[in-house]
Amino acid sequence: MPVPGYAGRVAFVDLSSGSVRVEELGKSVIELFLGGKGLLYYYGFRLISPSADPLDPRGNRLIVAAGALAAHAPAASKTGFLGKSPLTGILCDSYAGQVFASKLRMAGFDALVFYGRAPEPVYVYIEDGRVEVRPARHLWGSSTWDTWEAVRRETRLGASVAAIGPAGENLVRYANIMVDGFRAAGRCGLGAVMGAMNLKAVAVWGSRVPARARPDRWRSLYLKVYERHRGDEPTRAWARYGTNDGVSVCSRLSMCPGRHWRRPWLPEEEASRLSGDAVLSREAPRSVYARYAGVLWGWGCPVKCSKLASPRRRGLEHIVVKPEYENLAMLGLNPYVLDPDEVLYTEWLVNGLGLDSISFGEAIGWLMELYEEGLVSREELAGLTREPRFGDPEAVRELATLVAHRRGVGAVLAEGVEKAARILGRGLDLGVHVKGLEAAAWDPRGRRGLAVSYATADVGASHLRGWPRPHQPPSAGPAAETVRSMLEDRDWKALLDSMGLCSFTPYKPGEVEDLYNAVTGLDRSIDELLLVGWRAEALARIHAALAGRVPEGDTVPRRWMEPIPEGPLKGEKAFRDEEDMRRALEAFYRLRGYDPETGVPTRETLERLGLGWAAGEAERAAREARRRLRAAAEA
């Protein structure tokens, strides 16, 4: 019997043969890994070799997992995707909102595992326990938006669809997966993993909600949580803009990626051009919201902060996008395009092509800096008809098309900034990434300890792996003092990702605990549930050490160690100095129970976490890391 609330089944889809195998999701796995992020790392660690080529579907896997509370809790909107990243070479998880996870569980599965390469392009349709592999040659080359609409017409209009665009088909290393037209599982290049498999889309529809252990208790809790979240005053204020006022916030805090991270602070007259009010002035009419009501907000969301907007430009009235801060910052501030109409137009193009806006924004900002500094010549920019200069939106869009189709200089940028710099033989020290993953749009020079989070995050430069408290400039004291609070936030966010809950809703720990226990009947304490993040991180670090990224990649880019040039935090750096960074990393390793030399979990730590079965791989990873460190010291 499955654990209440779970479907209790995982589907393994061999795309090379079209065969499907279904396995039971055991109670022991659920107790340790819950769902979502936890399940992703459990299966990723077990099924993907650290030496696997990310673009070889014989060794890599695409794993999709529903959160533990999918179909059971307000704002249980997040679906997790994981594979070995073509960009970083390590395991990487990314999340998209909406209803895919809930519909997957209602279709009879908690997780999906894809592997192999289909002989011809295909999409996979899952409905009420059935898994079908269908031809998709007619969809190859289509935008993510057109693919979503076509697959729904061919299956059910209520189906939830995860699709790739031309960027994924052409194996751009930061191609994304778009869910239901508007939502992106953007990081790590998982769209390229799908493209390598000839997998154009995955669609799900289900009608059977798994039984809950304590339905009356669950119903009471659901309504109580929903009403509290809907009436929460800070959340109601948040709902006005969503993340779309982030440019105003990042400028005030000196945390913007402006002009390729050289302007973390912007004067008010510049920041206001991409403010929340500027975005809302372009908000779509209510009729447009009604058209997309079933695909815009997450499962049972009480906040509904997502906005729809269109450029105020003749000929672009048909464009509808869901702007977010990361789009505005990396497609606007980074290349320094401050016209909101131009940024919205670019976002529409980038999403349709299936490019991660964060990595793409960093790649073009990096290229513009190289060109501005005379480090690349006009002759090296094959296929580009315009000079790649800051402030030129046409150059940004031309580069997007070149990258997505791997044409000319776009084929170089499609590799990501770390690999592109090695191809060009210059600019490596100007790339803003950690472990190969381009940085999200929050400059850590504006917050003490945030750089430790970037340096140690399981996937690379993600801003969603823990924010330290309180908010202070890095000069306020040693970064090591913030590590404990950063880890507390990291573990909380990992729990939300494992439950499938949106991190922008005001969940309290007791609410998560009560809902989970009412659904499953397992009676787990919040302290027990919070261990899921530590477990996932421990497995990720073992895997990354075997792949050569840990501990070498536990650092930050040079740009963040340069002083902020102007504004209220002029002179601040991510760490006060190299010694400050070293001591912060030591504190992280000590608090997590990782080997102080290699950053790999010790046997004792793994036993404490119930992961003793991974101790042999951890010891091998530590030996390999020590060998590399010795070789580097002797070189």
Give the model confidence (pLDDT) of 545-598 as tens digits: 999 999 999 999 999 999 999 999 999 999 999 999 999 999 999 999 999 999
Q: Quick one: pLDDT at residue 242?
A: 87
pLDDT tens readout for residues 510-537: 999 999 999 999 999 999 999 999 999 9
Q: Quick one: pLDDT at residue 238?
A: 78
pLDDT tens readout for residues 306-333: 899 999 999 998 899 999 999 999 999 9
Specify which residues 183 forms β-bridges with. Answer: 179
Q: Quick one: pLDDT at residue 295?
A: 80
- Flag the least confident range among 153-167, 229-243, 446-460, 528-542: 229-243
Specify which residues 179 forms β-bridges with. Answer: 162, 183
Which token pair is 216? 């009356």
The residue-averaged pLDDT of 217-224 equals 98
Per-residue pLDDT for 138 more than 90? yes
Virtual torsion, Cα 259, 261, 263, 264, nearest 10 deg: 140
Please give the Cα distance from 537 to 601 (Å, whole number): 9
Per-residue pLDDT for 219 more than 80? yes
Per-residue pLDDT for 486 more than 90? yes
| Spatial contact of 432 and 555, defined as CB atoms under 8 Å apart | no
Q: Quick one: pLDDT at residue 100?
A: 96
From residue 547, give the alpha-carbon distance in Å to each of 90, 416, 516, 544.
Answer: 7, 18, 35, 5
For the domain made up of 444-503+525-634, give the CATH fold: 1.10.599
Per-residue pLDDT for 293 more than 90? no
Please give the Cα distance from 93 to 75 (Å, whole number): 20
From residue 230, give the alpha-carbon distance in Å to each of 72, 236, 305, 499, 625.
Answer: 17, 7, 11, 20, 49
Which residues have C-beta within 8 Å of that of residue 141, sequence separation ≥ 6? 166, 169
Q: Quick one: pLDDT at residue 229?
A: 93
Specify which residues 14 forms β-bridges with. Answer: 19, 115
The residue-averaged pLDDT of 422-449 equals 98
Per-residue pLDDT for 299 more than 80? no
Per-residue pLDDT for 1 more than 80? no
Contacts 24+ apart (CB under 8 A), 289-294: 292/181, 292/182, 292/320, 294/99, 294/158
| Spatial contact of 65 and 36, defined as CB atoms under 8 Å apart | yes
The residue-averaged pLDDT of 617-631 equals 98
Q: Quick one: pLDDT at residue 304?
A: 86
Per-residue pLDDT for 498 more than 80? yes
Q: Which CATH number fits domain 9-205: 3.40.50.2000, 1.20.1630.10, 1.10.8.60, 3.60.9.10?
A: 3.60.9.10
The residue-averaged pLDDT of 414-430 equals 97
Q: Quick one: pLDDT at residue 239?
A: 83
pTM of the shown model: 0.97
Virtual torsion, Cα 37, 43, 45, 51, nearest 10 deg: -120
Per-residue pLDDT for 423 more than 80? yes
Q: Quick one: pLDDT at residue 179?
A: 97
Which token pair is 629? 């460190």
The residue-averaged pLDDT of 418-437 equals 98
CA 334 to chain centre: 19
Listed residue (38, 11, 31, 33) closest to 22, CA to CA: 11
| Spatial contact of 74 and 229, defined as CB atoms under 8 Å apart | yes
Burial pattern 426-464, b for ≥16 Cβ within 10 A else e, equals: ebeebbbbbbbbbbbbbbbbbbbbbbbbbbbbbbbbbbb
Burial pattern 252-275, b for ≥16 Cβ within 10 A else e, equals: bbbbbbbbbbbbbbbeeebbbbbb
Q: Phi and psi at residue 434, in whole multiples of 5°?
A: -130, 125
Which token pair is 199? 């997998």
Q: Quick one: pLDDT at residue 110?
A: 98
Per-residue pLDDT for 298 more than 80? no
Q: Quick one: pLDDT at residue 233?
A: 84
For the domain made up of 243-431, give the CATH fold: 1.10.569
Per-residue pLDDT for 240 more than 90? no
pLDDT tens readout for residues 469-485: 999 999 999 999 999 99
Q: How many residues does the chain have?
A: 635
Listed residue (364, 311, 354) closest to 333, CA to CA: 364
Instruction: Decide: helix, strand or coil at residue 546.
Output: helix
**Domain locations along the chain:** 9-205, 243-431, 444-503+525-634
Q: Quick one: pLDDT at residue 245?
A: 93
pLDDT tens readout for residues 367-412: 999 999 999 999 999 999 999 999 999 999 999 999 999 999 999 9
Which token pair is 8? 């209790």
Per-residue pLDDT for 12 more than 80? yes
Listed residue (512, 516, 496) closest to 504, CA to CA: 496
Q: Quick one: pLDDT at residue 148?
A: 97
Per-residue pLDDT for 303 more than 90? no
